[in-house]
Amino acid sequence: MVMIPFAKMVPWLGDAHAESPREIVTEKKQLKQISYFLHMVARNTPFDSKCLVRAIAALKMLERRGFESTLYLGTGRNEAGQLGAHAWLRCGSVYISGSDEMDNYTIVACFHRKVKRHKDKEGWSHG
C-alpha cells in the first residue's frame, strides 16, 4: 500500500471551494450501484477502509464513467467532546459515500472534480 501525503493529493481532488451542480442525475441507478459496490468492497478489504479512502475511490470511479462530483471534508465533536473528521462524496443529487454521518459534521472544505466529456462515433458522451 502506498501512502500519499494529503497536501500532495489536494490539487488532484478538484477545484477547491467549489461544488458540482446539484441537478437531478438521470443515471441514479448506476450511481446507486457504484455506491453499493463501494460499500461492499470496503467491508471486505483486509485493511480499515476509512471515509476518505472510500470517497476518493468513488470519485475515481465516477470520473472514469464521466460524472462530475464534489468531495466534502468536515469536522465535528462527538458526545465526549472529541474532535473528529469525515469525508463524503456527492454526484448531482445523489450522495455516493459517507452520507450516513455527514449531518454530524461542519463542512470545512469541498472540491469539485470536473470531467471533460467527449462524444464517440455513435454520439455517446464519455468522461
- Tell me the pLDDT tens digit for each residue of 55-77: 999 999 999 999 999 999 999 99
Domain assignments of the chain as residue spans, ordered by start: 17-115
- Tell me the pLDDT tens digit for each residue of 97-123: 999 999 999 999 999 999 876 555 555
d(CA 58, CA 14) in angstroms, rounded, equals: 14
Q: pTM of the prediction?
A: 0.79
Q: Is the distance from CB of 107 to CB of 73 less than 8 angstroms? A: yes
Residues 6 or more apart whose Cβ sits within 8 Å of residue 24: 92, 93
For residue 7, is it left (φ>0), alpha (ψ between -120 and 50) or beta? alpha
User: Is 80 exceeded by the pLDDT of residue 12?
Assistant: no
